[in-house]
Chain A
């Protein structure tokens, strides 16, 4: 290197160093660095891995759609709220332009605090506790419905189910996980159910339980003793498996098991572990629209990346995680910068009509919450989740009351 080249290089490095605090160099970044925070191990591990599939396929699909480069920075927070907080800090230190995650409400609330303090946008893919978008945060956005919306849609679909199947169950036992999500759902049900006079049933017992519980003998014994017509459940995945097994052990056969909007019973692991015992469980959740062109595009990418897997088992997790990355990439394209404030403003101005999930366009309200989300009623048949309601999207007819279990 001659003296002139050396001097020029030094000058360039100096200029870059001088300009970087003002975001001038950073503004020219060609790709968006997305810090993806998911619980890929621990008791939420299976669902976290399912969400990760949606994240992994996003950069390729988005490159084709928008011509935007997305780089994923993956972090596993091990189903621990504290670890979620520290991983979020580290991702920001390592240069993440936007954070996405975290499936769990408790972890999402912790990450939201970090994002707000550090001034980095955070898009919640899945987490329903309303308080996440009720804190007046400026950098937090959510593409998933709140537990209030989930419940409103879920309970309304329960009414539709009874109407469609001409059944009038009078009693239910409500079992729910006692984490942030479960508590907020329970609170919502307590407030909402008495006002929904069109629903014919009343809750005769409410049983909270630990989502990490390895044994639910007592809980199921208690629920069974109330002899309800059906079981209303807000679960996670592992506990849903333990609970279903325990019901069989205790020979408890209610008219059905219905979730008004929680994970667990439509997940791949639920089918794999329980076999035929997974059949007929009903979950009312936001689901993807198989007829949307974007869904078909994502399905193709999913099949390519996961040749041994099927997307219906990951529908909700893949759908919302992909849409969260899409929101970030779309904002980056419009903002033409990774500068946090500009990127956040661009996210606020999102208006995506061509989407995967059933519902209106992705548009955030003043609190950073997407509205107009809808749910579908999913029932398990032959080890697959099938849409049974609304009738317009139904792939099968709902079965209620469900037939007695047989050994898997």
Chain B
């Protein structure tokens, strides 16, 4: 098999994986701190994709620029959602949280169906069909921009948690809920902030993906499942793990499609999931509970 073909496919897989990783990062951050699994994660990303397509069709706003207002709106939405609806469920059993977030997911999908109908929508930017050529390797411009946006957003999030006081306070809440309360941290506010940040991540991922994929309301559940596979492989609650999981899934799917058969792409990522569950149940970068 020609080397440039393998490299083409592998690079494309890594770039797509980075965007998937950013999407899963939101899920991982929320679970890592709030200990709530956001079962409406993919649906929220679909809403962000629709927002990007609308901003493009109405204002001709490039999705990468649209990511700023959409992420801000999603931060506010996530903050409000956690503060009003999810917070009372934080201490309740997992099945109650599951039902609540599943209900939100169903409302989002059906809301999108009512508003936009079942037809696929997309964004058509000038550079969408262009590629960079380096040697014999073609790199899809839109995919490269999307991956860069994902890396920038992920780095900013890492820096926020590592260096800012608020970030450190959120990490303290995640490490020791009772201790955080004892030292006087406003845990409810910090939880809402975390949910807002996770939602902003998913909004940026949605805007980036809108230049790569067509969006339909039914995309939500597919993306929720994908985000779960990624965070389970990377390690639930691990930020670096989410990115690593995304890259692994993107690359392994691409290479499985090349070396085995394209029909086996999804099969391969689920195979990887089973292997991780068998031999490292906490995920590749996760820590044992």
In whole angstroms, how far apart are the Cα atoms of A220 and B129 in the complex?
14
User: Per a CB cutoff under 8 Å, which of B1, B2, B138, B219 touches A250?
Assistant: B138
Give A residues with C-beta under 8 Å from B.
Answer: 40-42, 45-46, 78, 178, 207-210, 213-219, 221-222, 225, 238, 242, 245, 248-251, 273, 277, 407
Cβ of B212 under 8 Å from chain A: yes
Distance (whole angstroms) from the CB of B109 to the closest CB of chain A: 12
A221 near B213 with CB under 8 A, answer: no
By beta carbon, the residue of chain B nearest A248 is B129
- 12 interchain pairs, CB-CB under 8 A: A45-B118, A210-B263, A214-B212, A214-B214, A217-B12, A217-B140, A218-B12, A218-B265, A222-B5, A245-B129, A249-B130, A251-B138
Q: Which 9 A-B pairs have the closest CB atoms?
A: A41-B118, A218-B257, A225-B5, A214-B213, A248-B129, A217-B12, A209-B262, A219-B262, A45-B118
Q: How far is the CA of A213 from the CA of B16 in the complex (A)?
A: 14
**A178 and B131: CB pair below 8 A?**
no
Q: What is the minimal beta-carbon distance from A274 to any residue of chain B, in angstroms? A: 10
What CA separation (Å) do A45 and B217 show in the bound complex?
13
A221 to B131, CA, bound (A): 13
Closest to A242 in B: B214
Q: Residues of B at under 8 Å CB distance from A?
A: 1-2, 5, 8-9, 12, 16, 117-120, 122, 128-131, 133, 138, 140, 212-214, 218-219, 254, 257-258, 261-263, 265-266
B263 touches A45 (CB 8 A): no
> A405 to nearest B CB, angstroms?
9
Residues in B whose Cβ lies below 8 Å from that of A218? 9, 12, 254, 257-258, 262, 265
Residue of B nearest to A49 (CB): B119
Q: Are B262 and A207 in contact (CB under 8 A)?
A: yes
Taking the closest CB of chain A, its distance from the CB of B38, in whole angstroms, is 22
A225 to B4, CA, bound (A): 9
Q: How far is the CA of A48 from the CA of B218 in the complex (A)?
A: 17
In the complex, chain A residues whose CB is within 8 Å of the CB of B254 = 217-218
- Give the interface centre of B128, B212, B258 by most chain A CB atoms within 10 Å: B258
Q: Which residues of B contact A219 (CB under 8 A)?
A: 257, 262
Q: How far is the CB of A74 from chain B (nearest CB, A)?
A: 15
Q: Please, how many angstroms separate the alpha-carbon atoms of A78 and B110 in the complex? A: 14
A221 with B214: CB separation less than 8 A = no
Roughly how many angstroms separate A115 CA and B89 CA in the complex, as a whole number?
A: 48
> What is the CA–CA distance of A41 and B118 in the complex, to the nearest angstrom?
5
**CB proximity of A81 to chain B, nearest CB, Å:** 15
**With A210-B266, A218-B9, A221-B5 already in contact, 18 other A-B pairs whose C-beta atoms are closer than 8 Å:** A41-B117, A41-B118, A78-B118, A178-B263, A209-B263, A215-B212, A215-B213, A216-B262, A217-B9, A217-B140, A221-B8, A225-B1, A225-B2, A225-B5, A238-B214, A242-B214, A245-B129, A249-B138
